[in-house]
Chains A and B, each alone.
Chain A
């Protein structure tokens, strides 16, 4: 009897967490999935409407703007963070004096809330008191930088703030990768007379493949989830110029009383993230099993 209990104990201990996740993650996904096929408006309702919400969703100009913005934001955010992170990591890997001082400064924004980041950049980029006014103050009176108030450019200010926040983190990932490179390989290349930038380009950067992959996965999922930063920086405006799927979902569900459409937006977000994450986790777990 007692040994029976002992045998089941591990499972019993794990059960509460597993049940919580089963219900609050997978159960909730199923529920939201059902709502996306229902006629829910202000409150959940269970009348079946098939894919009508998705039809409506993809017919909305508002949603097209959000998807379009996600593309712009995601590509620039991932691209710039990766390039800048790799660049800074390579520079920091040159036996820099004061590395221990510089590295934490590059990385600290990652500890801040996006709301704080958004607040700082919101006023710094504000043409009335921020950068533009600083330049005018310094005598460059033709300097013009009102992107945050400009429908066509506001989404790029979200990129600026988000890159500021995350690029140091990507730098840290690449730096860890660079530190793991076998120094023999570099020496061998040096003996062959290769110039150092060539060694980086031909030998070391290709070895960073796993880092490129994991930083891509992290950044892509952060980009799709991005919500707080937009709320704090632009509030989705001016107009709807910086709306993303995440803010779209929130406003349709909770302020516009179109819960069915909001739920279908959430499902689309989930599909986007899972199509990146699931293959990644699958391959990671498999390679772990093999080793």
Chain B
């Protein structure tokens, strides 16, 4: 009697486990579906998409959409493909990430190890800057970039991303350094190390993880930005996201879905690669950005 009851309950458990895995698998499919659709259709000739099934594998595999998206598709008025914009994005992302990370590190250092009256208020103001809707700065920013002679240029975009990334980079380093033992800093000071030596010799060597988190966070955000790119860039500085949107939403000519998909993957590739290579740090950045203070 009791035996049959226990087999019954273990049977139930097996079924529940199976159901659990089935549900999880359904969601795996759900999250992968758009990526699958983009990938599969980027290798199809156009008429296969129009006449066929978007979920089917290509009958005829072709690399043409990829070549077109990269180097010959019509974007705006020029048939340049996404290539020049890809490099625009690189030229914008690298200095913006480097500068904002560096400044964030120093800010975090000062706000935790060299506190002065009012440091709390200053941190709160910097923190609040993370959350403003960027619509609020578009009009004055356009003017200031004009005054500085940076309108429509990559250095202009670097400045914009530097400024609006400072909040997050400062937050990351500040929280990380807050947990760093202050006794070590004091001890080094006793030994005669000055402000920069303490930072350089004591804090920086153990900052590896937070630097990775910050760089990934900044890279992802700046690469994926659209609003600033759309507002402040000219041909020489238009970033990848804006170019992709121009490609997909241009009203002239046939809609080349396969080229759009290939272009979308090209635009997603750098951040996806970063995610695959260092997903753990990516998640940590997301968490740090979510759980404030």
Hey, which chain A residues are within 8 Å of B283, CB to CB?
A: 107, 172
> Using a Cβ–Cβ cut-off of 8 Å, how many residues does chain B contribute to the interface with A?
94
- CB contacts under 8 Å to B, within A99-131, are 102, 104-117, 119-124, 129-130
Q: Is the interface of B mostly helix, strand, loop or mixed?
A: helix
Q: From known contacts A108-B31, A172-B283, A270-B133, infer whether A10 and B116 are also in contact, taking CB-CB under 8 Å.
A: yes
CA distance A246 to B192 in the complex (A): 53
CB 8 Å contact bits of B255-293 with A (1 = contact, 0 = none): 001001101110110011011100100110011011111
CB 8 Å contact bits of A120-150 with B (1 = contact, 0 = none): 1111100001100110011000000000000
Stretch at the interface among B1-9, B90-98, B134-142: B134-142
User: A134 near B53 (CB under 8 angstroms)?
Assistant: yes
The answer, yes or no, to whether A50 is at the interface (CB within 8 Å) is no
From A25, A218, A280, contact of B132 by CB (8 A): A25
User: B290 near A218 (CB under 8 angstroms)?
Assistant: yes
Hey, which chain A residues are within 8 Å of B275, CB to CB?
A: 104, 108, 111
CA distance A176 to B283 in the complex (A): 10
User: B30 near A116 (CB under 8 angstroms)?
Assistant: no
Q: From known contacts A113-B241, A133-B54, infer whether A106 and B34 are also in contact, taking CB-CB under 8 Å.
A: no
User: A232 near B54 (CB under 8 angstroms)?
Assistant: no
Stretch at the interface among A15-23, A53-61, A184-192: A15-23
- CB contacts under 8 Å to B, within A1-38, are 6, 9-11, 13-14, 16-18, 20-22, 24-29, 31-32, 35
From A115, A218, A262, A280, contact of B139 by CB (8 A): A262
Stretch at the interface among B59-67, B107-115, B203-211: B107-115
CB nearest neighbor in B for A219: B290
From A24, A109, A124, A164, contact of B137 by CB (8 A): A24
Q: From known contacts A11-B116, A113-B223, A232-B245, infer whether A21 and B135 are also in contact, taking CB-CB under 8 Å.
A: no
Chain B nearest CB from A59 CB (Å) reads 20
User: B54 near A10 (CB under 8 angstroms)?
Assistant: no
User: B241 near A24 (CB under 8 angstroms)?
Assistant: no
Hey, which chain B residues are within 8 Å of A280, CB to CB?
A: 292
The answer, yes or no, to whether B12 is at the interface (CB within 8 Å) is no
User: B224 near A20 (CB under 8 angstroms)?
Assistant: no
Hey, which chain B residues are within 8 Å of A16, CB to CB?
A: 103
CA distance A198 to B15 in the complex (A): 19
The answer, yes or no, to whether B127 is at the interface (CB within 8 Å) is yes
CB nearest neighbor in B for A8: B116
CB 8 Å contact bits of A260-276 with B (1 = contact, 0 = none): 00110111011001100
Hey, which chain A residues are within 8 Å of B140, CB to CB?
A: 27-28, 31-32
> Using a Cβ–Cβ cut-off of 8 Å, how many residues does chain A contribute to the interface with B?
97
CB 8 Å contact bits of A67-110 with B (1 = contact, 0 = none): 00000000000000000000010011010100000101111111
Hey, which chain B residues are within 8 Å of A119, CB to CB?
A: 38, 244-245, 248, 260-261, 263-264
CA distance A109 to B282 in the complex (A): 12
Hey, which chain A residues are within 8 Å of B107, CB to CB?
A: 13-14, 17
User: B23 near A91 (CB under 8 angstroms)?
Assistant: yes
The answer, yes or no, to whether A156 is at the interface (CB within 8 Å) is no
CA distance A76 to B286 in the complex (A): 22
The answer, yes or no, to whether A225 is at the interface (CB within 8 Å) is yes
User: B290 near A6 (CB under 8 angstroms)?
Assistant: no
Hey, which chain A residues are within 8 Å of B135, CB to CB?
A: 227, 245-246, 249-250, 265-266, 269
The answer, yes or no, to whether A242 is at the interface (CB within 8 Å) is no
Stretch at the interface among B73-81, B118-126, B150-158, B180-188: B118-126
Interface residues of A (CB under 8 A from B): 6, 9-11, 13-14, 16-18, 20-22, 24-29, 31-32, 35, 44, 88, 91-92, 94, 96, 102, 104-117, 119-124, 129-130, 133-134, 137-138, 164, 168-169, 172-173, 176, 214-215, 217-218, 221, 224-225, 227-228, 231-232, 235, 245-246, 249-250, 253-254, 259, 262-263, 265-267, 269-270, 273-274, 277-278, 280-281, 284-285, 287-289
Q: Nearest 6 A-B pairs (CB), nearest first?
A: A284-B293, A10-B114, A113-B224, A111-B275, A120-B34, A228-B226
